[in-house]
Amino acid sequence: MSTRSICHYLLIVFSLIFLPGCLCSSPERQAHDTRPNILLLLADDLGYGELGCYGQQVMQTPVLDKLATQGMQFTDFYAGNAVCSPSRAVLMTGKPSAYSTIRGNSGHFSGDRWMRVALKQDEVTIAEMLKKAGYQTGFVGKWHLDDPDDLSTWACKRGFDYALQEQWSNRFGGRKFNPDDLWLNGNEIPVRFDWTQWDCKDEFYTHYGFEYLKTVDTDKPFFLFMSYRAPHGRETQIGNKTLYADEGWPNKERVHAAKVTLLDKQIGRLLEKLDDMDELENTLVIFTSDNGPHCEGGRHDPEFFNSNGDLRGIKRDLYDGGIRVPLIVRWPGKVKPASVTGHISGFQDVMPTLAQVAGVDIPQQTRGISMLPVLTGSQQSTHQHLNWEFQLDGWGLRMPTGGFRQSVRMGHWKAVRYGIQGPTKLYNLEKDISESNDLADKYPDIVKKMNRIFEQSRADKDGFPYGGVIQHKTGFNIYREKNKK
């Protein structure tokens, strides 16, 4: 065989071996994209101890418990913040809370004005990243990253092809929204949720998740973000009147437990749907919660079901009970079944992980670290620290510390400071997971390191000034109700 013939032969072999891989990395040129679908499941105010696989003894969550046996369970995973809006901002952009545009459910501006704060247009969302990569994108549920009066900030304009979203209630003026209305792709005519017609709001959401799945082209991967409602405290009534009715619990606790178990059931329905579509085995499933357990308006006592496990604190706390949350990841053929990891990670790590799964560059805005190595059994890079910055909502509240809170996780050390003039408390989570034994006096050098992180590992953002807003001569943040004279 001549040299020219040999070269021609090798070129053919090379093409047969490597060309399919090249095609898979370019969704525009392929007939069938083999990259995995991505199903992101987010609970609302579900505590670290509210799933059976995380130690819950009373409320039943068989679907999620099974999911944990089919994938990887994280023990040291953290939400983006201690309430919904700033936590979801971290999830969607990969920016940790101390750098995020949103650090509370509303920001404080001049003239004692409290306003919703939206993600900025130059901040890339996970949906925009994946859509550009060739993914079909769908969203159902609670968005809360927008200005209700600016459609360009709604989910349908932030990377989702299909978006059925709730809208903020009318706390600060502007357009009035019924909290039981949902808006499909920004249409003027809302979809009305009637709790008497459904077991729970999450059943309603799952129905529309099915509607989205009817629209997908199964030759292309899809990203579906199901932003569920359970067990958030606003839903004081649910359609299901029988679940746990024989337990003799206070009604508010029966409703709470039912919402958790019904959420589990709806996730089961969604997974069965994907299985019926022959898509489940090529779907990366991620389940987590936006923050710790609630006690909103006395509608649930977190101690009743031990909702935060052994952790200290609840929603709005930067102790671990407010921010450490469940994370379960299932990915057949990639993630080892029944595996457990203590890798310290958080919401900011989801964007870089999904970027690598999709085969695209990680957006420069994120400070997260991809978790793909730990998921696939490879050597995993770690954070030097994780830190949080949170501003409490200020309507009608008197907050001597400005409602400003910070915390840092650095290895097994955890520091918490409420108010920049408050003391920095230090805990060894390896020996004291409940953060009950303050070691600040014994380790002053570590406290100094933590204080430097508080002061330097952050950026200023409009509406969320460092330390809260100083008003008049009364000290930190004496906030007034909106129209109080």
CATH code of the domain in which 399 resides: 3.30.1120.10
- The span from the first CA to the last CA of the chain, in angstroms, equals 96
- pLDDT, tens digit, 9 for 90 and up, residues 25-81: 434 435 579 999 999 999 999 999 999 999 999 999 999 999 999 999 999 999 999
Q: Quick one: 202 and 349 in the same domain?
A: yes
Considering 376, 398, 422, which residue would you say is the last residue of a domain? Answer: 376
Q: Quick one: 53 and 97 in the same domain?
A: yes
Residue 98 lies in a domain: yes
Mean pLDDT (whole number) for 261-268? 98
Q: Quick one: 413 and 361 in the same domain?
A: no
CA dist., res. 360 & res. 193, Å (int): 38
Mean pLDDT (whole number) for 242-249? 97
Per-residue confidence (pLDDT) for residue 8, from 0 to 100: 39
CA dist., res. 367 & res. 458, Å (int): 11
- pLDDT, tens digit, 9 for 90 and up, residues 400-434: 677 899 999 999 999 999 999 999 999 999 999 99
Residue 473 lies in a domain: no
Q: Quick one: 344 and 404 in the same domain?
A: no
Residue 23 lies in a domain: no
Mean pLDDT (whole number) for 324-328? 98
185, 165 Cβ separation under 8 angstroms: no
Residue 115 lies in a domain: yes
84, 44 Cβ separation under 8 angstroms: yes
Residue 24 lies in a domain: no
The widest CA-to-CA distance across the chain, in whole angstroms, is 96
Q: Quick one: 371 and 392 in the same domain?
A: no
CA dist., res. 291 & res. 405, Å (int): 15
Q: Where are the alpha helices (DSSP H) in 165-244?
A: 201-213
Per-residue confidence (pLDDT) for residue 472, from 0 to 100: 35
Q: Quick one: 363 and 408 in the same domain?
A: no
Q: Quick one: 290 and 395 in the same domain?
A: no
CA dist., res. 346 & res. 48, Å (int): 14
Q: Quick one: 285 and 395 in the same domain?
A: no
Residue 358: both structure tokens together? 């999709």
Residue 319: both structure tokens together? 């102790």
Mean pLDDT (whole number) for 349-378? 98
Q: Is the pLDDT of residue 373 over 70?
A: yes
Q: Is the pLDDT of residue 171 over 90?
A: no
**Average pLDDT, rounded, for the chain:** 89
Q: Quick one: 366 and 390 in the same domain?
A: no
Mean pLDDT (whole number) for 220-244? 96
Residue 55 lies in a domain: yes
Amino acid occupying residue 131: K
383, 390 Cβ separation under 8 angstroms: no
Residue 476 lies in a domain: no
Considering 322, 344, 376, which residue would you say is the last residue of a domain? Answer: 376
178, 194 Cβ separation under 8 angstroms: no
Q: State which residues form the domain around 52.
A: 34-376
Q: Which of 59, 440, 446 is nearest to 262 (CA)?
A: 59
SS3 state of residue 205: helix
Q: Is the pLDDT of residue 323 over 70?
A: yes
Burial (CB count <10 Å: 0-12, 13-18, 19+), residue 460: exposed
C-alpha torsion angle, residues 172, 176, 180, 185 (rounded to 10): -110
Element (H, E) at 86: helix 84-93
Residue 6 lies in a domain: no
Per-residue confidence (pLDDT) for residue 114, from 0 to 100: 78
CATH number at residue 197: 3.40.720.10
CA dist., res. 249 & res. 245, Å (int): 8
Q: Quick one: 364 and 395 in the same domain?
A: no
SS3 state of residue 39: strand
Q: Where are the alpha helices (DSSP H) in 344-459?
A: 350-358, 372-376, 444-456
Q: Name the domain count of the chain.
A: 2
Q: Is the pLDDT of residue 160 over 60?
A: yes
Q: Quick one: 360 and 392 in the same domain?
A: no
Confidence label for 170 from pLDDT (cuts 50, 70 and 90): low
C-alpha torsion sign, points 320, 322, 328, 329: negative
- pLDDT, tens digit, 9 for 90 and up, residues 94-135: 999 999 999 999 888 776 677 889 999 999 999 999 999 999
Q: Which of 280, 297, 288, 167 is nearest to 218 (CA)?
A: 280
Q: Quick one: 351 and 398 in the same domain?
A: no
Q: Where are the alpha helices (DSSP H) in 140-293?
A: 201-213, 251-276
- The reply to whether the predicted model has a pTM over 0.85 is yes
